[in-house]
Chains A and B, each alone.
Chain A
């Protein structure tokens, strides 16, 4: 089946630094990808919709300047957490929609644990 890979799976960074998380569709093209955030023992919250070649669409309450999304190719979207703070520590997970199919599964990455110290 189709695979979406996220990297890194775990990252620890210092407060004030930036960290980039990659989301790749390995065997299909994805014009559209989605970024979610999950707090411990909570549900997933959609942060933004990533569109190849155009600006991401952010959900209400998500800071665009803090969570930079770049979808530079049909197989790669990146989420950069800028000037990270401990409250940004969370599980970030992406999903991708296969361009070849109109009604098929949305494929999720394995997720990335971010810890800001």
Chain B
């Protein structure tokens, strides 16, 4: 079945440091890939997404590129801020337009803490 593997955390960085959170997936066909962020005590917010190979999703300084050859969707940010402290989830869904689209498989989540 489908699966998503994220790098284990927690990740602790100083403000303005470079961030990478690795994510790899296993799925048949051409899934859509997502990064979601969860702030303490809150629900999930979509951070970015990519629906086909070589697509780059970006938002709020975060980027991730859909790499089919390596089945990866690593999250990066050039300069993190204290406000980026949260839990980050990588997820996949079956291809857009299919009946299973929206049924998300999540990675285990990575806790990011950014210190001033």
Residue B42 at the A interface, CB < 8 A?
A: yes
Interface residues on A, range: 20 to 34
Q: Are B109 and A95 in contact (CB under 8 A)?
A: no
Q: Please give, as numbers and ranges, the residues of chain B lying within 8 Å of A107 by CB-CB distance.
A: 46
Q: Per-residue 0/1 for A83-108: is the Cβ within 8 Å of any B Cβ (1 yes, 0 no)?
A: 00000000001011100001111111
Smallest distance from the beta carbon of A49 to chain B beta carbons, Å?
Answer: 6
The CA-CA distance from A6 to B43 in the complex, in Å, is 10
Interface residues on B, range: 20 to 34
Q: Are B102 and A110 in contact (CB under 8 A)?
A: no
| CB closest chain-B residue, reference A10 | B41
The CA-CA distance from A105 to B49 in the complex, in Å, is 8
The CA-CA distance from A46 to B44 in the complex, in Å, is 14
Smallest distance from the beta carbon of B116 to chain A beta carbons, Å?
Answer: 24
Q: Per-residue 0/1 for B91-112: is the Cβ within 8 Å of any A Cβ (1 yes, 0 no)?
A: 0010011000111111111010
Cross-chain contact of A43 among B49, B93, B101, B109 (Cβ < 8 A): B109
Q: Please give, as numbers and ranges, the residues of chain A lying within 8 Å of B101 by CB-CB distance.
A: 97, 102-103
Cross-chain contact of A105 among B42, B46, B89, B105 (Cβ < 8 A): B46
Interface residues of B in 47-92 (CB under 8 A from A): 49, 51, 89
List residues of chain A with CB under 8 Å of any chain B CB. Answer: 6, 32, 34, 36, 41-44, 46, 49, 93, 95-97, 102-111
